[in-house]
Amino acid sequence: MPAFLLHILIVFFAWLPRTAWPVQYYSVAVTDKKPQSRDIYVQGLEIKDGLLYVGTGLYGKSRLLRYRFTDGTPHSAIDLDKRFFGEGITVLGDKVYQLTWRNRTMLVYRRDDLELVKTLPVQGEGWGLTNNGHDLIYSDGSATLRYLSPVTAKVLREIHVTLNGRPVTQLNELEWVNDAVWANVWRQDAIVIIDPDNGEVTGTIDLRGLLPRSEHERSTDVLNGIARDAADGSIWVTGKRWPWLYQIELVPQQTDGAK
């Protein structure tokens, strides 16, 4: 094919409307719940080997907490320096990683005793954090997810998250679930399911009404926190200063095609 014809074809197909993948919509069924202190301002949540890890926020009150997941017995706790506002957490190998909000700093702890061993630089604000088994994945409140080296925090690649071709911003707490990234959307009672290769949202989860209005107090804040228990595949969610961790199952509602 002549080069000029190839160029014309490339330009032509670039201008064609994008065909978005069908999006699956879900509601949820609550299958179990566990009590949680209303004092916990949840910023990160993860379950690993029978232990529940919780990262909390607010200046002067940020902590990294660890509990026995079966019964909520406290296991260990670390107070962050008062300069830091704690954000998302994840456990990878023998380390626990915790983002901070505006310090452009990620804290790295030894998993066995939660001893802080080093800090790593990150770009911009820190919001949510997860991993795919070898790379760290973090959000900064934008529509971009960044894949990082767990050794240096060097950015390995980025994906831009879209729903039907439109960017999805305010991506907050993250969790790696069944080879996809699940993300809370800040100030929405919703989770988006993101293709980790191209950033397209393949599903949305409606969590409106999960915490009944009768259980809201003045200090109750937004939905935030997703954790998958690898032991049985169960999914648990919560919010900032919520009194419960909820185990949920997805209930398919409908699938939308391209628009």
DSSP result, 203-236: EEEE-TTSS-GGG--TT---EEEEEEETTTTEEE
Residue 11 falls inside a structural domain = no
Q: Can you give the pLDDT at residue 21? A: 64
Task: State the amino acid at position 243 in one-letter form.
Answer: P
Q: pTM for the whole thing?
A: 0.88
Residue 144 falls inside a structural domain = yes
Residue 238 falls inside a structural domain = yes
Q: 183-221: per-residue pLDDT in tens?
A: 999 989 999 999 999 999 999 999 999 999 988 888 888
Residue 9 falls inside a structural domain = no
Domain count, the chain: 1
Residue 165 falls inside a structural domain = yes
Residue 15 falls inside a structural domain = no
| Owning domain of residue 192 | 20-253
At residue 6 the predicted structure's pLDDT band, cuts being 50, 70 and 90, is: very low
Cα–Cα distance for residue pair 85/57, rounded to 1 Å: 5
Residue 26 falls inside a structural domain = yes
Residue 6 falls inside a structural domain = no
Q: 222-254: per-residue pLDDT in tens?
A: 999 999 999 999 999 999 999 999 999 999 997
Mean predicted confidence (pLDDT) in 104-116:
96
Of 150, 152, 156, 125, give the one whose Cα is nearest residue 136: 150
- Tell me the β-bridge partners of 252: 26
Q: Can you give the pLDDT at residue 17? A: 42
- Residue 50 Ramachandran class (φ > 0 left, ψ -120 to 50 alpha, else beta): left
Q: Can you give the pLDDT at residue 255? A: 66
Mean predicted confidence (pLDDT) in 18-46:
89
In our burial notation (b when 16+ CB lie closer than 10 A, e otherwise), range 64-80 reads bbbbebeeeeeeeebeb
Is residue 69 within 8 Å of residue 47, measured between CB atoms?
Answer: yes
CATH number at residue 172: 2.130.10.10
Q: Can you give the pLDDT at residue 7? A: 46
Contacts of 72 (CB under 8 A, 6+ apart): 34, 35, 36, 52
Whole-angstrom distance between the N-terminal and C-terminal Cα of the chain?
34
Q: 72-90: per-residue pLDDT in tens?
A: 888 999 999 999 999 999 9
Please check the confidence at residue 18 and state whether its pLDDT lies above 90: no
Cα–Cα distance for residue pair 202/168, rounded to 1 Å: 12
